[in-house]
Structure 1
C-alpha cells in the first residue's frame, strides 16, 4: 500500500477533496485526483478528475442517501477505494476558515482544540460549522488517522497591530475582536508560486487579489502579509458573489432600528442576498454577468472593479508601493474582462496589460513597459497537503 494524504474542504452543501501521494523521501506531494460532492441535502452530484485533468467520474447521486457530510464523505471514500485500491490514507488535512486569535499554525486536532474551534463558528458562520462537520465525518471514517486543520487566517497573523485593530476600546481587541484576514491558504500558495515564476519581485511589494465567489485583496511585503481587505469576518472589503463587502456600520443600525429587521434577517441579507447578486438582480456568477445585456450586470461588474482598484491603491500606500500585481481565484484567473477593467485605471501605478496575453489567460499578462502583472491559478489543496504531510511525519515541503 502506498501512503496518501486526503485533503477535505467541507462547505455548507458540498465537500471538495483531493488525494495526494506522499513518501518519506519525496520533496513534494503529488496529486492523484480531485473532485467534489455538491448539492448535499438537495440535488447531490459527484465529480472527480485525475491529477492531470482527465475526467474520472461524473454522476448524480440519490438525494435520499446524501443528506449530510458523513454520507457525502462515504461516497468519496467508496470512489477512492475502487479507483485507487493501492492508496492508503495516512493523514487527513482540512481547510478551516477561522482559527480565531490563538491558532496560526497547522494544528493536529484533539478533542480539546476542536472545542476551541467550535467557538470560532460565530466568526465565520458561512464556513466554520461546515468545516467542523467535515472534520467529524472524517474522524468517524478514519478514527486512527491524524487529522490536521489548516487555517485560512494563518497567513495574516503577523500583521502590524495597526492593520488588525478597530478603533474600539482596547479590551475588545484583547478579547479577539480584530481583523483576521482570510484566503490565507491561497495567498500562501501564490506567494510560493511567485518565487518560482519571478523571484526578483516575489520578495518585494506584491498585491494579490483572490477574486471569486469570496473575494479579498492582500498586501504582501518580503513574502509576508501586511494588510488584508477582509476583517473580523469574511464579510468585509470587496463585494463578493452574495456578500456585501465594506459597508457603513450605520447602515446596519438603520436596518435594525428603522427597518425593524432582526439580526437573522440582516445576517441573511449581508451574506446571501448582496454582492454581485444583489447589485445586478441577476446572478452571483461573473460568467453570467459578463454574458448579460442587462445594464445592471455591467454596473455590478464596474462596482466590483471599482472596489478592487480602491483596495489596490490603499494597499500600495500601506506597503510602500507595488512591484507586482497578481490576480487569482476563479474570477481573477479566468476573467480577462475584469482584469482589463481593473488595470485600465491603474496606469498611475505603472500597470498596463498586454491584450493578447490577458485574453489568453497567460501567467504573465503585463505589457513590456508595465509593472509586473500575473494571473496565477491558485491551489489551496496542495498547501494543505504539504502542511499535513509534514505534521504527519513525511518530508513533503513547499516547492
Structure 2
C-alpha cells in the first residue's frame, strides 16, 4: 500500500484488517521484525512551504531527505540536528525520508549542544491507528498547553501514528568549521578532554572519540563552527585548554572536516563488518568503564561520551554491565532481534504509561506492533 494523499492514508488505516508494517524509505530497519502488510509513505512527498527568512519548512513525511537538504543548501541553510545516514551501518538501501528521520528522532553529533530532532519540530500531521487525522503544533516555535504530540511522535517509530506532514525549524550554514584532532588518547583521557571542552565557553558543536578513525588509529575530535575569525580564536583557546592532555592539531579544510564528522555521524567504522551493533546512552564519565568490561568490542563515542556505538561479537549481553542509562540492540540478525528486547525494557511505571498511550492512539494495535517491545 502506498497512499498518495493524507485522505488515502486515513482510509487505508481505517480499513486495515490486520497489522501494518510502516515504511518510509526503508533505510532504518531497527527494532523487532514486524509481520504485516507494508504501508509505504513515499507517496506523501513534496515541500509545501519553505520560508528561508523565517527558518521554517513544511514537507510531506515521504519527502526524501536528500531533497530537503538540497533545498536548504541552495539557501545556505541546513537541518540543525544532523541526521545520520544509516544505510551502510544497517545494510539497507532506498532513500531516507524526513518522516523516517522524525519517527526515529535521528540526531547526529551536533545534538550534544544544539538539541535533538524533536527539539526542532514545530508541528506534525499524522493518522492514528483508528484512521483519524490528527494535527498538533504549527509553523512557529511557541509554548502550548495540552499534549505535545509533536515531541511524542518524534522517536515513536510509527507505533502511535503514521506521519503525513512535518514542519520544522532550520538553521543557517556556518561560515567556517575547525576541528581539533588528537591521536592515541586512551578512552578515559579522551572523554575527560571532551568533557572539559564541552564545559568551556568556546561553543563546541561536536565532541567524539573513535577507536578507529579515518586512518585506522584512535582519534579524539572536537568541532567548532561559526564565523571565520571566531572559529580560529576558539580553536586556539581550546588548544591551550587541552595542552596538558596531548597535542591537538587543527583541521580547517571544509571537505576534510565534513568527511570526518560524516565518519562519526554515519558510524562508518562499523559498516560492512561482522558483529552486532549496540547504541548506548550513558553518563559520559561512566562510558569508558562500561566499554572496558566488554570483551572484543570496538567503540565510537559521540556526544562527549554520552552516546556510545559498540561493535560487539554476536550474542554479547551489553546490558549486564550497565548500572544506569540504556542500550538499544541497533543491528543484529532478525532471529536475535525477535528473541532479545531491542529497545531497553522500561521500568514498570514507564511501561504502563507507554501501554496507555498505545491503547489511546492505536487501540487495535496494528501500527508496527511489537517493534519497540
**With structure 2 as the length reference, what TM-score do the two structures score?**
0.29
Q: Which structure is higher in helix share?
A: 1
**With structure 1 as the length reference, what TM-score do the two structures score?**
0.28
The one of the two structures with greater contact order (alpha-carbon pairs below 8 A, sep at least 6) is 2
